[in-house]
Chains A and B, each alone.
Chain A
């Protein structure tokens, strides 16, 4: 009987926090609602009213079910944290798809969930149809999703809605945002939000002004600026129109997005350190070092490979370097048509893209992929292992790496980095296999699988409404796994299986 009491409590804790995260999303839905109201788009107004209502009802129901947790929060354990993160994401995906479904811009529930997951995980692949005619409200929702997804919805809810924080840290780690900027979790979450808000202001302003300079009308330039900033900073890759960033036909617009998406792909801890005055961090940090090296090397090879198909240096910078950086930071803006990657870039070009998409950006940022931290750690550990082999056995050298602080290169760190990289590689490999199973060429399948696994968003043409449903399902799962870095999702699955097992043994008795 003790066991069932504990299980009961576990469920309550999970319900309670998940409920609050859901209320957070309901509040966010007011943004597109207000947008549609102002611009008199009546269908979206009702779509969002319905969505807010359903979300609110579910949210408060869960909170009430988790009732006791309000007074007894110290029981939150690591497993709860992971499960809450994973469960929240699943529920939020379903709830956030409601506006899409009601708008009839998506062909099916699966397509709607795909787009939502793509937004939350800041991937950027799109299955929504007729983007050029969707309402401003729905477009606002898409970009809000990607902005919030990048920050972490759980982080959002925790910093503003939940009063008690002792359990909060564990949920926080579950969402792969485990960077302790200041001793308390709420403080850290608030700092992440402050940095993002400041950039939101600066970035939207920059793109707004440039938008007007390149010919957009003032009001639309504002929305384009806002949306494109949200997409850049979150390294999402959504754009308000079907041509993605090609719609603007502008070098200056592209350059501004480069700056913001690279910044968005950097670790929040790095931003905080630099804003505190520790400017050397930008050069000393293992992740920035890793990124600058891999990005420069990849760009160089890409330029060499593709200089034949583009006429001059500005063209090469815009069509090659831009896309390599977009891929490496896992943003997903593309100023080349998807099919052009397949038809013009050649296998070597595609290979470079696959590699940088998998490496990805920095840990605890909006980017995806293995993360520069792990790549750097693995690289350093290989170097240190080789050195240990070559040096005399009496020489005990301690190897270190710098990431905000100095850390010793311990076996534990190396092991966990390697394990997560293996998980990413497996997810990528399975994605590639599924693509080839359905008849897509190997290079194309690999490209799309890397884009999905690394939450990038560049497409080589495979992602389309006619894509096999199985592939859509797998891509949704892969985006989800990649963004939450596997552990939360495994914990959720494990918990679920554990619960089912216990239920089965109970029934047998």
Chain B
């Protein structure tokens, strides 16, 4: 009985440890702004950030730069091209980019990249897929535009009418 309970408690401890490390990783997500405010502390350390991919991937050789914006700030990630093959959307006016979780080494002034403040990615996973953003134009805007354009055209017509009249006698200028 004693032996069994020991094994069971060992298993429970192991499961707890496992769960603990899992949750630990999740709560280790750092805001990019935190990194920037504490560059010296985080320099050369492994960090995890999460944010939206924006713009596009800048492919260089077998690697690529991707820029991530997590609403606090934005930073460049140096990542292997094969690791971002799954990415569908990058954020811009018409798209919401894929949200990714990136783990990697943070560099305050990366010697490999001419002093860039960047993260060399060791692990990247897509947390939420991005999408096309449907654009809606409010009716008010369309109506306002139409009305104003009409007034503008009227003003133009008035201007041309008035300036094409033969000039009045200058003696009457007041």
| In the complex, A touching B (Cβ < 8 A) | yes
Binding site for B on A (CB under 8 A): 5, 8, 41-43, 46-47, 49-50, 52-54, 56-57, 60-61, 63-64, 67-68, 70-71, 102, 132-136, 214-217, 220, 241-243, 246-251, 309-312, 314-316, 318-319, 335-337, 339-340, 343-344
Residue on A nearest B162 in the bound complex, by CB: A64
Q: Assuming A71-B167, A248-B58, A249-B65, is B142 touching A46 (CB within 8 A)?
A: yes
Which of A50, A134, A310, A318 is the one whose CB lies under 8 Å from B145?
A50
Residue among B36, B118, B155 with most chain A CB within 10 A: B155
Residue on B nearest A139 in the bound complex, by CB: B93
Q: Determine the interface band of chain B, counting residues with CB < 8 A from chain A.
A: 35 or more
Does B137 interact with chain A (Cβ within 8 Å)? yes
Minimum Cβ distance to chain B for residue A377 (Å)? 37
| B93 and A135 contact, CB distance less than 8 A | yes
- Tell me the bound Cα distance from A56 to B154 in angstroms: 11
Which of A102, A133, A242, A249 is the one whose CB lies under 8 Å from B58?
A249
Closest 6 CB pairs of A and B: A215-B58, A315-B115, A53-B148, A53-B152, A132-B54, A319-B115
Which of A5, A71, A246, A316 is the one whose CB lies under 8 Å from B116?
A246
Q: Assuming A41-B135, A246-B76, A310-B115, is B174 touching A5 (CB within 8 A)?
A: yes
Having A53-B148, A132-B91, A242-B73, one finds 17 other A-B pairs with CB under 8 Å, namely: A41-B93, A49-B149, A56-B156, A68-B173, A70-B163, A132-B74, A215-B64, A220-B55, A243-B76, A249-B58, A249-B118, A315-B114, A319-B114, A339-B36, A340-B36, A343-B37, A343-B39
Residue on A nearest B137 in the bound complex, by CB: A42
Minimum Cβ distance to chain B for residue A243 (Å)? 5
Q: A336: which B residues are within 8 A, CB to CB? A: 117
| B159 and A314 contact, CB distance less than 8 A | no
Residue on B nearest A342 in the bound complex, by CB: B37
Interface of B is mostly: mixed
Q: Assuming A60-B156, A247-B67, is B148 touching A337 (CB within 8 A)?
A: no
Q: Assuming A311-B111, A311-B115, is B159 touching A215 (CB within 8 A)?
A: no
Binding site for A on B (CB under 8 A): 36-37, 39-40, 54-60, 64-65, 67, 69, 73-76, 91-94, 108-109, 111, 113-118, 135, 137, 141-142, 144-145, 148-149, 151-152, 155-156, 158-159, 162-163, 167, 170, 173-174
Minimum Cβ distance to chain B for residue A380 (Å)? 38
Minimum Cβ distance to chain B for residue A393 (Å)? 57
Minimum Cβ distance to chain A for residue B62 (Å)? 12
| A242 and B74 contact, CB distance less than 8 A | yes
Minimum Cβ distance to chain B for residue A248 (Å)? 7
Q: Assuming A41-B93, A60-B159, is B67 touching A314 (CB within 8 A)?
A: no
Q: A309: which B residues are within 8 A, CB to CB? A: 109
- Tell me the bound Cα distance from A247 to B75 in angstroms: 8
Q: Assuming A68-B173, A337-B36, is B141 touching A50 (CB within 8 A)?
A: yes
Q: A135: which B residues are within 8 A, CB to CB? A: 93
Residue on B nearest A313 in the bound complex, by CB: B114
27 A-B pairs with CB atoms under 8 Å apart are A41-B94, A46-B137, A46-B141, A50-B144, A52-B152, A53-B149, A53-B151, A56-B155, A56-B156, A57-B151, A60-B158, A71-B167, A102-B141, A132-B69, A135-B93, A215-B59, A242-B74, A249-B58, A249-B113, A249-B116, A250-B58, A309-B109, A310-B115, A314-B115, A337-B36, A337-B73, A339-B36
Q: A61: which B residues are within 8 A, CB to CB? A: 155
